[in-house]
Amino acid sequence: MNIIVCIKQVPDTTDVKIDPKTGTLIRDGVPSIVNPDDKHAVEEALRLKEKFGGKVTALCMGPPQADDALREVSAMGVDDLILLSDRAFAGADTWATSYALGMAIGKIEYDLVICGREAIDGDTAQIGPQLAGCLDIPQITYVKNVEMGDGKILCERALEDGYEKIEASLPALITVISDLNKPRYPSVGGIVEAYREKEVKVWNAEFIGADQELLGLKGSPTEVRKTFAPEPKGDGEILQGSTDEMAKQLVTKLVDKNILR
């Protein structure tokens, strides 16, 4: 079972600040981490490898400093580390990012691709589904439980009010949510190996055979016209009284607003 896990390096905050002049993220002074959902993806890949054998490869598209994110998941137990890094990828929207990841994955033998559900900075949750489209393989999103066997994957896919069970034949792509598992801590030996011995292979646009017109800003159909923080809607209201009284006031207000009937 060869598994590829897509990991993204993100700023360690959900309180993303935007430069009002350039409309881009302010990354200065914000430490970077492995996107939280992606650690669940790595954990699941490692569990499947422990059960069925094979290899886990982590793939990350990002600038040279994303090397750190790859070494962090290596310390958890990932075998191979690939960093897709090239100026040609700069300014990529999710479409161009999916294309680049897809071209890189095309160079690796795999049975399963695992992505996080969404990244905490971009927040689109588009990469997994688009990547499955690029690879022309089945996808199951919002996965909270995984079973494998007979060349198939059977997943529980979370819904708002329950879950559905979906089966797909391999190779397939899944996107996972945090209910799936509890990511392991890196081992001390793993940390030493990750930082002293492990090689991070750096692949560029030419190596993956990508069409330069479909990469980065050139290959990005999305155009950000304006980025802004919404104005606060006004002061909140603090209800007074006992718990029962406050609950009654709250229900009355919700009924008045037609939110409750």
Residue number with CB closer to ligand FAD (74 or 220): 220
**Helix extents (H) in the chain:** 36-52, 67-76, 94-105, 127-135, 188-196, 243-256
Q: Which of 43, 86, 93, 156 binds ligand FAD (CB under 6 A)?
A: 93
Nearer to ligand FAD (CB atom), residue 179 or residue 245: 179
Size of the site for ligand FAD (CB under 6 A): 33
Please list every residue from 106 through 165 that binds ligand FAD, using CB under 6 A: 115-116, 118-119, 121-128
Cβ within 8 Å of residue 88, ≥6 positions away = 204, 205, 210, 212, 215, 216
C-beta of 93 vs 156, nearer to ligand FAD: 93
- Judged by CB under 6 A, the stretch of 33-41, 73-81, 157-165, 205-213 that binds ligand FAD is 33-41
Rounded-to-integer distance, Cα 142 and Cα 198, Å: 31
Residues in 215-254 that interact with ligand FAD by CB under 6 A: 220, 222, 224
CA 25: distance to chain centroid?
Answer: 18
* Cα–Cα distance, 119 to 99 (Å, whole number): 17
User: Token pair for residue 116?
Assistant: 């996080």
Q: Whole-angstrom distance between the N-terminal and C-terminal Cα of the chain?
A: 53
> Does 6 contact ligand FAD by CB under 6 A?
yes
Q: Is 91 in the site for ligand FAD (CB under 6 A)?
A: yes
Contact between 86 and ligand FAD by CB under 6 A: the answer reads no
Q: Is 62 in the site for ligand FAD (CB under 6 A)?
A: yes
CA distance 210 to 99: 8
Lookup: tokens for 125: 């949750």
- Can residue 210 be called a binding residue for ligand FAD (CB under 6 A)? no
Q: Give the interface with ligand FAD as residue ranges (CB under 6 A).
A: 6-8, 35, 37-38, 41, 59-62, 90-94, 97, 101, 115-116, 118-119, 121-128, 220, 222, 224
